[in-house]
Each structure stands twice: as structure tokens, then as C-alpha cells.
Amino acid sequence: MKTIKHILMLAVMATFAFSCKNEAKTEVKTVEHASESVAKLDPNATYAKAEFTIEGMTCAIGCAATIEKKISKMEGVKSSKVDFDKKLAMVEYDEAKVSPESLTKTVTSVADLYTVKNMKVVDAFSTVK
């Protein structure tokens, strides 16, 4: 009886020892994207801030992140933030290179279902996370 218990215990221990070896290992990747636009900024430029709502977004990763990336790649844009929950975009841009109309055109060019509403130039952003 003792021998059967030992064999059974050894089998259970071996099962636990060898079943945990196939764990998925997480891989960390770093991606740089903000440094490209910072290098192109003109220190003598006059910057304005615009806030507007974007209708038609369905998700934070696919929609809001894509729009934010597209705006931030525009020449003359200093910073951009798109908040999916509030449907709010906040953009700081060089007035000589970017206009509210070009921001609207950029957002609507990402996909036909996005529309820009309530575009206003502000002194300070209303909400900053």
C-alpha cells in the first residue's frame, strides 16, 4: 500500500513539474513615435490650441488612437490627444502651418464615418489627463 502511495505521489509531482513549462512569456517592446514630431517644431512659431468633438468613433484603440496618431504626424502639430470616452480631441498646433479646416480634413480622411463638431480655439484645454 505504501508503494502505491509513493508512486501516485511521484506521478502527481511529475505532472505539476512538467505541465508548467509551456507558459507564455510576455515580450516588452518599446516604440518611439513622439520624438519625430518634436524635432520638427519651430521655436519661433505661434501656437494655438483647438478642442473639438469627434463623432463616429467606436473604440479607443482602433479609432481614437488612429486619429490621434494621424493628427500628431501633421507638420506643425505640437501635441494631440484624443479622448474616446469624452469624444474630445485636443490639439496644439502652429497657426502658420495648420488651420482648423486642415484638422477637420485630416480627421475625416481617416474614415468617412468620423465627423468633427464644435471646433473651437481655446487658451487652455478644458480637460487634461
37, part of any domain: no
53, part of any domain: yes
Report the CATH number at residue 60: 3.30.70.100
In this structure, the strands spanning 77-83 and 47-55 are unpaired
Q: How many structural domains comprise the chain? A: 1
9, part of any domain: no
12, part of any domain: no
Range of the domain at 107: 42-122
**Structure confidence by residue, pLDDT tens digits, 63-110:** 899 999 999 999 999 999 999 899 999 999 999 999 999 999 999 998
> In which element (H, E) is residue 111 found?
none
Residue 40 has pLDDT above 90, yes or no: no
